[in-house]
Chain A
């Protein structure tokens, strides 16, 4: 693009606003899942009823003493009952002694 020397110039503001994100470090990981509890959260879409059992099978082969609390225990955390289900998740995770959680499915 070309511009003439007497063409007006514009001092413009950014259209973005400030980010107000409170950052948190990720939780410590669990190198050995034997004897630990993995809880499942599922938004009831994208074939989780097939995928979650396969994931369980894969992890159990490597950590035979892992325990799973399946997604039915927590309900659908996305959609019609999202607020209520989400509010109950922390207490349910504590009650089940969750050491790790698998969350799905975004696809």
Chain B
């Protein structure tokens, strides 16, 4: 919202923005990052929790007077920023404990101890890329900082990555700063978390786990790459929970370890790999970053027929994802990601292609129009209207083909939005599904560019 206000101020037109009191600190961070001091009228608390009389009183006593002051009073002034040490300059010297304490006090960690980012360690990471350390991939919200190769190396060191993960880390940030990923929404209240999906030969080269416990901390590659993502969002974007201010995830979730596919099994059973589904060649090294806002319970399924397993997915994904479907309806996008257990995938693949699985799920995961509308109204949008979304071209016509509130709607807007990869325990009949947060963090892929001396450098590390 404040980005729109800043754009208008730059046109020379004064603005005043409506903001809930709980969002003021984040508003200050965003305003500074945008480089425009912004006037705000404050609504005390949340309008979603107040009756009409209380809402009117809060508007008249607080919000409207604040907006009026913002438009007619003194222009808001820039709040000076604290001086910072330049990148590449020694910021602190001390023992391990002193370094840890300094980083905690500065809000530069995720609450866990970090590996001290000494120049030597950072240089070891930079050796694993042919890119210049000062190359700027993008300027990122919320603090308006440069996403540089150097900053990737520093935060990679801190997160406990190994230097040879650097090509992965660079590709991850390239994906996350792609405008379609919407890194500006990483601090939104649903508290979604990016997950990195690794494809290609690099899975084995860097020892990513794609088998039992794939999404558990414990394997260095999966764990530290996942931690790096959250570290980067804190330090470069400024998404910090209190006593910081930029991250407004109401409850949130912890970082997600990187996901890797059991590509051997996927190919063996005759399915394309996830990387191929994303448009890359088999074995090509790729990362995809994908938001996760909901995770199903473990999806156990039994039987020797495809339909028995996929119907179980319909039931469990339907129970988990139906509530949040209204957000997908509002934006026309949302992507469920299924981790199919290798043995389950083998049974399904013996009868069905991935597209047949997608079609079955699409056809059978349904919600009534009345429930979807109710869920939207409870969350944030009292004016939610399927008819208007169809009229605006956001949803297909089928979503408004009747006005029967009990009509059934497809929870997944298009079968092609369903993503499937094979991973997990081959000795158990379990799968799991992850839901993206609509247009915030849609699957975004980047090739992993290896340095010219990759084999030589990797051999030295081993």
**Distance between B173 CB and nearest chain A CB, rounded to angstroms:** 11
Task: Decide if A17 touches B122 in the complex (CB within 8 Å).
Answer: no
Cα of A33 to Cα of B382 in the assembled complex, Å: 31
Q: Which of the candidate stretches B30-38, B217-225, B263-271, B280-288 sits at the interface with the other chain?
A: B30-38
Q: Is B11 an interface residue (CB 8 A)?
A: yes
Contact (Cβ within 8 A) A1 B97:
yes
Task: Report B-chain residues with C-beta under 8 Å of the C-beta of A54.
Answer: 55-56, 59-60, 64
Q: Quick one: which of B14, B46, B92, B158 contacts A26, CB cutoff 8 A?
A: B14
- Asked whether, in the complex, the Cβ of A102 is within 8 Å of the Cβ of B15, the reply is yes
Q: How distant is B126 from chain A, measured CB to nearest CB, in Å? A: 12
- Answer whether residue B357 sits at the interface, using C-beta atoms and an 8 A cutoff: no
Binds A, one of B17-25, B207-215, B313-321, B449-457: B17-25
Contact mask for chain B residues 188-229; partner A; CB cutoff 8 A; 1 contact, 0 none:
000000000000000000000000000000000000000000
A80 vs B395: C-alpha distance in the bound complex, in angstroms?
Answer: 10
Q: Is the CB of B144 within 8 A of A20?
A: yes
Q: List 11 A-B contacts (CB under 8 A).
A: A15-B117, A19-B146, A20-B139, A20-B146, A21-B34, A38-B71, A51-B63, A80-B331, A100-B14, A100-B71, A102-B17
- Going nearest first, the 9 A-B pairs with the smallest beta carbon separation are A107-B20, A104-B18, A58-B64, A21-B144, A14-B91, A21-B35, A17-B151, A26-B75, A10-B116
B9 cross-chain contacts in A, Cβ below 8 A? 24, 26-27
Write the nearest CB–CB distance from A28 to chain B, whole angstroms: 7
For the complex, count residues of A whose C-beta is within 8 A of B. 64
Q: Give the distance in Å from the alpha carbon of A30 to the alpha carbon of B75 in the complex.
A: 10
Contact residues, B399-435 vs A (CB, 8 A): none
Bound together, the chains give a CA A77 to CA B90 distance in angstroms of 43
Q: How far is the CA of A99 from the CA of B15 in the complex (A)?
A: 9
Choose among B11, B95, B147 the residue that contacts A3 (Cβ–Cβ < 8 A). B95
Q: Select B145's contact among A17, A28, A43, beta carbons within 8 Å.
A: A17
Q: How far is the CA of A106 from the CA of B36 in the complex (A)?
A: 17
Nearest B residue to A75, CB-CB: B392
Which of chain B's residues 49-65 have a Cβ closer than 8 Å to chain A? 52, 55-56, 59-60, 63-65
B99 touching A12, Cβ below 8 Å? yes
- Contact: B14 with A27, CB < 8 Å? yes
Indicate which residue in A1, A25, A81, A89 contacts B394 across the interface (CB closer than 8 Å). A81
Which residues of A approach B to under 8 Å, CB–CB? Answer: 1, 3, 7-33, 38, 41, 43-51, 54-55, 58-59, 62, 77-81, 86, 89-90, 93, 98-107
Binds A, one of B77-85, B163-171, B296-304: B77-85
Chain B contacts for A27, CB-based, 8 A: 8-9, 11-15, 75
A58 to B17, alpha carbons, bound, how many Å?
16
Nearest CB of B to A81, in Å: 7
Q: Known: A47-B55, A54-B60. Contact between A15 and B16, CB under 8 A?
A: no
Choice from A13, A25, A99, A103 contacting B17 with Cβ under 8 Å: A103
Specify which chain B residues have a CB less than 8 angstroms from the CB of A47 in the assembled complex. Answer: 47-48, 55, 382
Q: Is the CB of A107 within 8 A of B392?
A: no
* Interface of B, helix, strand, loop or mixed by DSSP: mixed
- Please indicate the chain A residues that have their CB under 8 angstroms from the CB of B122 in the complex: 13
- On whether the beta carbons of A3 and B14 are closer than 8 Å, the reply is no
CB of A89 within 8 A of CB of B4, answer: yes
Report the Cα distance A79→B384, complex, angstroms.
13
**Could you tell me the distance in whole angstroms from the C-beta of B28 to the nearest C-beta in chain A?**
12
Contact A100 B13 (CB under 8 A): yes
Q: Is B337 an interface residue (CB 8 A)?
A: no
Whether, in the assembled complex, B459 has its beta carbon less than 8 Å from a beta carbon of chain A, the answer is: no
Known: A1-B101, A29-B14. A107 touches B46 (CB 8 A): yes
Whether A59 contacts B145 in the complex (CB less than 8 A), given A29-B74, A106-B19, comes out as: no
**Contact A81:B392 (CB < 8 A) given known A54-B60, A99-B13, A103-B17:** yes
Structural contact, A106 and B18, CB atoms closer than 8 A: yes
Given A13-B88, A24-B9, A104-B17: A43 touches B1 (CB 8 Å cut-off): yes
Partner of B32, one of A21, A33, A45, A55: A21
Q: Give the residues in chain B near A3, CB-CB below 8 Å.
A: 95, 97-98
Taking a contact as CB atoms under 8 Å apart, the answer to whether A15 and B108 are in contact is yes
Q: Which residue of B lies closest to A18 (CB)?
A: B146
Q: Which of A18, A30, A32, A41 is packed against the most chain B CB atoms within 10 Å?
A: A18
Residues of A within 8 A of B146 (CB): 17-20
Complex contact B11–A24 (CB within 8 A): no
Question: Is B4 touching A12 in the complex (CB atoms < 8 A)?
Answer: no
Question: Across the interface, which residues of A come within 8 angstroms of B1, CB to CB?
Answer: 43, 78, 103-106
| C-alpha spacing A107/B10, complex, angstroms | 24
Determine whether the beta carbon of B64 is less than 8 Å from that of A12: no
Please give, as numbers and ranges, the residues of chain A lying within 8 Å of B2 by CB-CB distance.
Answer: 103, 106
Q: What A residues does B99 contact at CB under 8 A? A: 10, 12
Asked whether A18 and B23 contact (CB < 8 A) given A27-B12, A99-B13, the answer is: no
CB of B243 closer than 8 Å to a CB of A: no
